[in-house]
Amino acid sequence: MKITVSSTNRTKPAGYLALIQRFGLKVIPHWHQSSVTGSSALETHTVNGMTEAFYPTRYWSGDALGDHLEFALKYDGINLAILAAIFQAAPKQEIEHYVASKPRGPYVRKLWFLIALAGRDKNGVGTFAQRTERVWGRGK
C-alpha cells in the first residue's frame, strides 16, 4: 500500500515507513504504515488487513533515526524482520547517539533488547550497551 501525498494535505512518512524509504530496504510491507499530516485529527484507513494511519503534526518528533525508531515502537508495533533490516543498514553511530540521548527511556531499553535479539551485538553495539549500564545505574 502506498501513501499518497496531495498538494493540499502534505504527508511525511513516519516510523517504519520512513526508515524503509530512507535506507531503501527490501522488506515485506508492515501491516501498519504511518504518516504525519497537517490535519488536526488522527485518521486511519484499513483495506485488506493493511492500515494507513495519518497522525496530526503534534506526533512529529523529528526526522532522526531514533525519532523514527521510537515512533515505530510506540505506534506501529514491533516487526522483528524490519527492525533487523534497519539495524543492518543504519550506521552504528546513529543508534548510539539515540541511546545516549535517552539512556533511561523505555523505548531505548526495548530497542537494546531488540538489537541483541537481532544479533547486532556482533557488530560492536554490545560494548556500547555495556558502557551505558553505568548510566542506567547497573554497572560500576
Q: What is the pTM of this model?
A: 0.78
DSSP 8-class letter at 75: I
List, for residues 94-115, the tens digit of each pLDDT value. Answer: 888 888 888 788 998 888 787 7
> Which cell goes with 9?
494535505
Q: What are 52-107's pLDDT values in tens digits?
A: 999 999 999 899 999 999 999 999 999 989 998 998 899 988 888 888 888 788 99
